[in-house]
Structure 1
Amino acid sequence: MRGRRFLATLNSVTLDIGRIRRDFPILHRSVRGQPLVYLDSAGTAQTPQVVLDTIDGHHRRHHANVGRSAHTLAAEATAAYADARAVIAGFIGAADPDEVVFTRNATESLNMVAHAFEPAAAEGDPRWRIGPGDEVVVTEMEHHSNLLPWYELCRRTGATLRRLRLTEDGRLDLSALPIVIGDRTRVVAWTHVSNVLGTVNPVQSIVARARAAGAITVLDGAQSVPHRPVDVDALGVDLLAFSGHKMCGPTGVGVLWGRAELLATMPPMLAGGGMVADVGANGFTTLPPPARFEAGTPPIAQAVGLAAAAGYLSGLGLAAVHRHEQRLISHALDSLAGIDGLRVFGPPDRAGVISFVLDGVEAADLGRQLDRAGVQVRVGRHCAAQVCERFGVPALVRASFHVYNTLADVDALAEVVAAARKGAVA
């Protein structure tokens, strides 16, 4: 009963989940004639009515471009966009709203950072210079969005990619920190919470080692910011990326937060309207952050919707959301533990993500059986091929939770998995 032991120190959950579920219209539909059980929030979280109404209201009353016109609608849109930036800054504990850059998603945010590094011979802030002999450090549990951009950086600059490996129980091998992060390390990029294993990584320990090496720290917060209190000042990282659609907001919007003094010298990835201060015959100068990184028309309505999602989660209380998800994952660990032939990956003290395989049943087949029962999970490698390779499995079934899930949802998952196992051995 490892889940119950893990839960023992947690406070009781006081959220009214029945009321919360009424806030999400999609939860009242059916799938294949069965009540919807949505267990894929690590892929995309569902959207509450307040976010839908906010986006609709913006389009109906304030739809215009920002920072480009003197008319009333443009002024209203510009104010709404600025307000959204301030809300998101407060949501993650940032002191200055100008440290918040709106992007399309966490993937674009991470690519933006990787693209900012330039060959060692280039001019500018030496922190953004990298070349042969320099090193980039990632971990073996990274989502491809926090891996492939660093592959590309090393390819174009000649730098070397190094990895912090996984232990058998799905944690980072922190004993290797002094070996992997050294004097030639220029950047360390890692996930706060694994999207496959649910592992919650010790940010401060990695930051301390990276800072001692003089490296820039980049944290993928896509699986942490939507589910638990995150304070960038307390974490101590230099840059943080996350996506709107994983925190009950709309698709098409993400965030890159960075320390003001670092953003001030960071080269932009895109050039175009909205990010220039002056244009001449032979070049241009850029505006200061965040405008420097938001070339073209930004995701205005999406940012406004994201602010509404942040307000919704803040109203529930991120600490209470986290406690509720811990109750769900504890119940899931206990419920699945009794199923013969089922192997769960990752540590018991985890976020609200559980990935597993079932002897005798392929992941895709189990996913289809769950879907026929209305249970929506994700199957495959989850954009984390290194994790599957590390544990020698071609694919995994993943169930992931958010604040609107119930213990009954977990029971529905376990019931289908148990039936699938019985069918496989019959």
Structure 2
Amino acid sequence: MKIRFTKEVLNAVEPSNQRQRIKDAKVEGLVLEVLPSGRKSFRVYKRVKGQKSPVNVTLGQYPSLTIENARKLALSTLEKIAHGINPNEQAKVEAKAQITLHEVFHDYLSQKELSQSSLRGYNQIFNTYLNDWHTTPIANLTETMIKERHSSLSCTSRAQADYCMRVLRALFNFAQFEYKDSQDRPIYLYNPVKILSHKRQWNHVPRKQTRLTHTEIKKLLETLEVMRQETDPFTFAVCDFVEIALFTGLRKSELLCLKWEDVDFNEQTFSLTETKNGEKLELPMSNHLLTIFQRRREHTDNDYVFQAENDYGYIREPKKVIQKIEKQSEVNFTLHDLRRTFTSIAEQLRVGTYTLKRLLNHKTGRNDVTAGYTILTAKELSKATEEISLEMLSM
């Protein structure tokens, strides 16, 4: 049915049990769609040569959208269609072009398999240093804004400033491949964080070189033993955690969520499932580590090696107890210092490179062909583990 649209005519149209499409006699392709609910909407309904389905574009609801304005929008839409532009696809692209930083961050996290520690780090950066940009379309983030934010953060922490920009760079790289137009072409062609490289503004904070000396290792072990004798279960567990971290060189996130189901006393091994690189790792226990694990077994009654009375069932943050350990031992250290200490002692003992990489759960590069043929089991790693353990105990 084709009629000349007027207020009187459109107001008189009554809904039926089925959807109705009434064509405008003045503008070819403009229709009024009437739903059984009574809602009336203007649309452009146009068949295009070479396409199976007609282009169906919603213009707006009647009477909020007047007949005159509907005709103007219809003519503009028909012109785009005549030039090969699908207004629906164009609207999707325009919506993607206005996607906010928060939306990109959410999409990024939903598609990336990040470790719990990386996830916490990303959230901390995003919510602390980029919180005022959450609702900003990423297309509006300019090189000048990037430079100024990096410079401002560098006044407080040069390392955090670089970390923040690395997170932001990752989000832009993700957006470039994630959001595309109807021809599968990227909407975002440029990463503004690259300006920091062009201007040589990255801080490039050098890697820390701190580790425990022989004397400090001895003082630390003595303090841990004393604190275990006169303290509460939580502190007791943290002391065991610190000692195991020293004798394995493993990361905090890899150790704290260790479950008893992953500890094999018969084989004298334990397996890490929550690792930074996502790969499960089976490691041997030295005789000293075996003693610590046996002690932990006696002091726990749930699924976790480092049990704690909280919603998680295991220790989440040992920072306060570690501060007490530092104070009593007079040895200042970070958990990464323990990792560097383990690595340094292994190097002094001339532990093989691939053995050490495996003990530390480091990935080898794709172009390292030899690494692909070097398969080291827990049994083959046990000799190195025992040597490192005995070296530490002799200090």
- Shorter-chain TM band: under 0.3
Q: TM-score, normalised by structure 1?
A: 0.24
Larger strand share, 1 or 2 = 1
Q: Which has the larger radius of gyration?
A: 2
* Highest RCO, 1 vs 2 (Cα 8 Å, sep ≥ 6): 1
Q: TM-score, normalised by structure 2?
A: 0.25
Larger helix share, 1 or 2 = 2
